[in-house]
């Protein structure tokens, strides 16, 4: 490597990592981003080692997972690390997303930064869904059967798309092969988007709890703020270790330890917990097309929200009406996830309907109505 390249690399590391200006009032909520990057690294490394022993063939996929668990040295550790790591990846990303919603990280000039994060989230959902199919258990098989059938709502070409995804007339070996290939490739696409996300972050700078721009109250990232990230890493590792070593199957579904049976449908087909809020929105509408549009709209709302914002105040600390709506939304998100686990009957249906309506209400009211009201109140106080 030439001297110029070394000096350029050193200068880049110095400006973007060591001497990167960071607001001195950042709290531990700003550690979720680096924790998410740590989770991504765990997933890629553990997934690469698992792929060395996995067989993407319907007759052997389930047995290869059991082989990894029982015969491969520390294979159980790799498998539990990967499976629970996916859940913790989503936990950290949800915390990162909710922090951005509360502190106004979606507002100008950070709209492209928010959109790049939303794209990463969608890629994560796709990768996690595809990965859930690979163990070829009961929930894996029926989950992919139900979800891929949703594409049939597309006029004219919907059925052809489903057959193209399946590689035949039903979910089978070509489906598993394609999903395995995609599951291996998509994490690298996520990594690329992470670098785009970081580039946009360093272009506009980090937000802060006060929601103000400041150049006078900044400190270097190293050694001041990296210590908070380090604490976040240790906390994440500690909690994840408890789940891996003591409760490895708590976040999964027991039916996935039963080999896929095309002739035996599980009593309740449910996705992994991190998809439950959107699954609940899908279920509340009896019409198939309407349910899919509602679920898609729930994800699309993340992209549209920055365009709906009318508030001139950034941080939720200074937006009392928005703060109340936000915390209700956070609780409502949990309620929505819970409703996704319940049977579809008249007793539980009202909970899902209410939670789904408030989900969309928050993005509309939080962006437009509450922003107008708070702008009016703040101008009234000033005058």
Instruction: Say whether the peptide bond before residue 109 is cis (omega within 30 degrees of 0).
Output: yes
CB-facing half-sphere around the CA of 221: CA atoms within 13 A? 18
Question: Could you tell me where the DSSP H helices lie in 247-382?
Answer: 276-284, 288-308, 320-339, 349-364, 370-382
**Binding-site residue set for a ubiquinone:** 202
Closest CA to 105 of 201, 41, 219: 201
Q: Which of 34, 64, 206, 339 is catalytic?
A: 206
Is 206 a known active-site residue? yes
What distances in angstroms separate CA 339 from CA 52, 154, 270, 313, one per listed residue?
Answer: 38, 27, 11, 34
- Residue 15 CB partners (closer than 8 Å, separation 6+): none
Is 272 a known active-site residue? yes
What distances in angstroms separate CA 237 from CA 171, 220, 228, 245, one per listed residue?
Answer: 37, 26, 14, 12
Q: Which of 105, 272, 311, 356 is catalytic?
A: 272
Q: Which of 67, 202, 204, 255 is catalytic?
A: 202
**Binding-site residue set:** 82, 96, 183, 197, 202
Residue indicated by tokens 């993340």: 302
Is 16 a known active-site residue? no
Instruction: Output helix, strand, coil percentages for the chain, rounded to the nearest 5.
Output: 75, 0, 25
CB-facing half-sphere around the CA of 287: CA atoms within 13 A? 4
Q: Which of 31, 46, 229, 339 is catalytic?
A: 229
Closest CA to 142 of 180, 107, 170: 170
The answer to whether 321 and 362 have CB atoms below 8 angstroms apart is no
How far apart are alpha carbons 225 and 313 in whole angstroms?
Answer: 26
Is 73 a known active-site residue? no
How far apart are alpha carbons 250 and 244 in whole angstroms?
Answer: 10
**Binding-site residue set for heme b:** 82, 96, 183, 197
Q: Which of 66, 228, 255, 259 is catalytic?
A: 228
- What letter does residue 219 receive in the DSSP assignment? E
Is 67 a known active-site residue? no
Active-site annotation, residues: 202, 206, 228-229, 272
């Amino acid at each position: 490597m030439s001297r110029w390249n070394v000096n350029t690399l050193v200068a880049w590391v110095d400006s973007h990592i060591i001497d990167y200006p960071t607001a001195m009032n950042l709290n531990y909520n700003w550690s979720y981003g680096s924790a998410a990057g740590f989770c991504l690294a765990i997933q890629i490394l553990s997934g690469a080692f698992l792929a060395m022993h996995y067989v993407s063939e319907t007759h052997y996929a389930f047995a290869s997972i059991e082989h990894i668990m029982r015969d491969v040295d520390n294979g159980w550790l790799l498998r539990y690390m990967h499976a629970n790591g996916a859940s913790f990846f989503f936990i950290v990303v949800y915390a990162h997303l909710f922090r951005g919603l509360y502190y106004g990280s979606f507002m100008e000039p950070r709209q492209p930064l928010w959109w790049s994060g939303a794209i990463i989230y969608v890629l994560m959902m796709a990768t996690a869904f595809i990965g859930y199919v690979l163990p070829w258990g009961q929930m894996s098989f029926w989950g992919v059967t139900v979800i891929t059938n949703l594409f049939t709502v597309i006029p004219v070409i919907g059925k052809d798309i489903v057959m193209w995804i399946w590689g035949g007339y039903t979910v089978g070996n070509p489906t598993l092969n394609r999903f395995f290939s995609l599951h291996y490739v998509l994490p690298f696409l996520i990594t690329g988007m992470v670098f785009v996300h970081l580039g946009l972050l360093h272009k506009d700078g980090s937000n802060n709890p006060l929601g103000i721009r400041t150049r006078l109250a900044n400190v270097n990232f190293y050694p001041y703020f990296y210590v908070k990230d380090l604490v976040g890493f240790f906390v994440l590792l500690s909690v994840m270790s408890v789940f891996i070593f003591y409760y490895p199957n708590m976040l999964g579904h027991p039916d996935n330890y039963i080999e896929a049976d095309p002739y035996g449908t599980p009593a309740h087909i449910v996705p992994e917990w991190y998809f439950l809020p959107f699954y609940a929105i899908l279920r509340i509408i009896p019409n198939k097309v309407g349910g899919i549009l509602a679920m898609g709209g729930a994800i699309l709302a993340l992209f549209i929200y920055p365009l709906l914002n009318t508030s001139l105040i950034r941080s939720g600390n200074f937006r009392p009406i928005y703060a109340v709506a936000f915390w209700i939304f956070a609780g409502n998100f949990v309620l929505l996830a819970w409703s996704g686990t319940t049977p579809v009957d008249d007793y539980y249906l009202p909970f899902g309907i209410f939670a789904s309506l408030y989900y969309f209400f928050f993005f509309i009211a939080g962006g437009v109505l509450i922003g107008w009201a708070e702008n009016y109140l703040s101008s009234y106080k000033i005058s």
